[in-house]
A and B are shown apart, each in its own frame.
Chain A
Amino acid sequence: MSGGIIVTSLATKQAFQAKLKAAKKGHELLKRKCDALKARFRVIMLELLDTKKNMGQQAQEALLFVAKAAYAAGDFHQKVKDSVRRATIRLDMTSENIAGVSLPTLHLRESEDADSNLGQIGIDRGGQTIARCREKFRELLDLLVKIATLQTSFVTLDQVIRVTNRRVNALEYVVIPRFQGVVDYVSQEIEEMEREDYFRLKKVIDMKRKANLADDLARDAKKAAMIKDYEDQQKKQGQEEDGQEENILDEGEDPDIIV
């Protein structure tokens, strides 16, 4: 579109008017999408900030329990590390659709693992403390998964909002003014052309009128001249005739008619 030759015709004007309308509609829709996303974004941000601050407290409490369990169970850390096989806690990801954006949600899924040794750690001693420790950490994990969901949504929305905003601005400050400019330019040119045509027409009519007037005058003049000629001619003839008539009295002979 940039640098193209624009034909100044009604068709072009209509084409660009249609484009302008489409661009305006698109702009409005995108703006609405952006606003919806921004609203959701704010909500998520606030929740994220809040939840994370609370998490700090809960995490420290849970960590105290590890010390307790280690004290109670002995050689605790090594045993736990060694007993790791397959994870019994996994994450499922589903997605929600908000204003056309797919936001991920993470859920904890616990599966039964037959050959997991984790359950057997506290059997000889300290079982209860270990169990409480596990509980605490499980609660903490739930909270952390919630935070993880919020965080992923946050990052996703941030990126999408940036892109959408860019498109809105592009439409608003580049595309729409450009189309508007073309429509205005073509309108002006068409008007100018019409004006030119109008004046041309007027001029021609004027000239024709003048020409007709001149013709009429010329014809009248000619007619008058002809009449004059004729009259002159008549006069002349008349004069000659007149000359003959006047000598009737002067003529010598006046023969009688009766003999």
Chain B
Amino acid sequence: MASKKLIRKGEGSSLISIIGDEDTVTGFLLTGIGERNTKGETNFLIVDSTTPQKTIEETFKRFLKTPNISVILINQHIAEKELRPFINEYDGIIPTILEIPSKDVPYDPKKDTVLQKATKLLYGQESQD
């Protein structure tokens, strides 16, 4: 195995952030990924039918800019509705964006941007199944 070394300075650790509906976020918060800093900012956003699109957009952008967030979890139906164009044009490495299903909307690999890119590269076309 080649050499392993930490490539982040400082604490050498980073957070998982999440944008999702109440059930999803609660479930994940239970494991202990949530953090609230002194300014009251958190690394999670609960989205319901009243949340304005602007809030979702801005939180997403904030997560992208926060240096110690390396993963952003998003319910796929929220990604589809509000954030698809941003996700499509995002080509960064860290943080990485993972789409997860919600209680009512199962996971659809055809809508997942990164997965489609991989399928296209592997099979020369978007996934059919």
Q: Which among B14-22, B49-57, B59-67, B78-86 touches the partner chain?
A: B14-22
Residues of B within 8 A of A109 (CB): 13
Size category of the B interface is: 35 or more
Q: Tell me, rounded to whole Å, the shortest Cβ–Cβ distance linking A120 to chain B.
A: 12
Assess whether B96 is in contact with A155, with CB atoms less than 8 Å apart. yes
- Classify the secondary structure of A's interface with B: helix
Size category of the A interface is: 35 or more
| A154-B2 Cα distance, complex, nearest whole Å | 18
Assess whether A130 is in contact with B121, with CB atoms less than 8 Å apart. no
Assess whether A141 is in contact with B16, with CB atoms less than 8 Å apart. yes
Assess whether A55 is in contact with B107, with CB atoms less than 8 Å apart. yes
Q: Does B98 contact A (CB under 8 A)?
A: yes
Q: Does B88 contact A (CB under 8 A)?
A: no
Assess whether A91 is in contact with B94, with CB atoms less than 8 Å apart. no
Among candidates B31, B44, B46, B98, residue contacting A89 with C-beta atoms closer than 8 Å: B31
Assess whether B32 is in contact with A87, with CB atoms less than 8 Å apart. yes
Q: Does B8 contact A (CB under 8 A)?
A: yes
Q: Tell me, rounded to whole Å, the shortest Cβ–Cβ distance linking A3 to chain B.
A: 36
Residues of A within 8 A of B42 (CB): 84
Q: Tell me, rounded to whole Å, the shortest Cβ–Cβ distance linking B64 to chain A.
A: 14
Q: Which among A42-50, A193-201, A235-243 touches the partner chain?
A: A42-50
Assess whether A156 is in contact with B93, with CB atoms less than 8 Å apart. yes
| A88-B29 Cα distance, complex, nearest whole Å | 10
Assess whether B31 is in contact with A151, with CB atoms less than 8 Å apart. no
Q: Tell me, rounded to whole Å, the shortest Cβ–Cβ distance linking A251 to chain B.
A: 137
Assess whether A144 is in contact with B31, with CB atoms less than 8 Å apart. no
Q: Does A246 contact B (CB under 8 A)?
A: no
Q: Which among A17-25, A29-37, A75-83 touches the partner chain?
A: A75-83
Given A90-B13, A93-B70: A148 and B36 interface contact (C-beta under 8 Å): no
Residues of B within 8 A of A88 (CB): 32
Assess whether A155 is in contact with B109, with CB atoms less than 8 Å apart. no
Q: Does A52 contact B (CB under 8 A)?
A: yes
Residues of B within 8 A of A156 (CB): 93
Nearest A residue to B70 via CB reads A91
| A223-B3 Cα distance, complex, nearest whole Å | 99
Given A59-B107, A95-B7, A148-B71: A154 and B30 interface contact (C-beta under 8 Å): no
20 A-B contacts, Cβ less than 8 Å apart?
A: A45-B121, A52-B109, A52-B115, A57-B107, A64-B103, A66-B27, A76-B26, A81-B25, A84-B34, A93-B7, A93-B70, A94-B4, A113-B32, A118-B29, A133-B27, A134-B30, A138-B31, A154-B114, A158-B117, A159-B91
- Going nearest first, the 9 A-B pairs with the smallest beta carbon separation are A56-B107, A88-B32, A84-B34, A87-B35, A90-B13, A97-B2, A66-B27, A89-B32, A134-B30
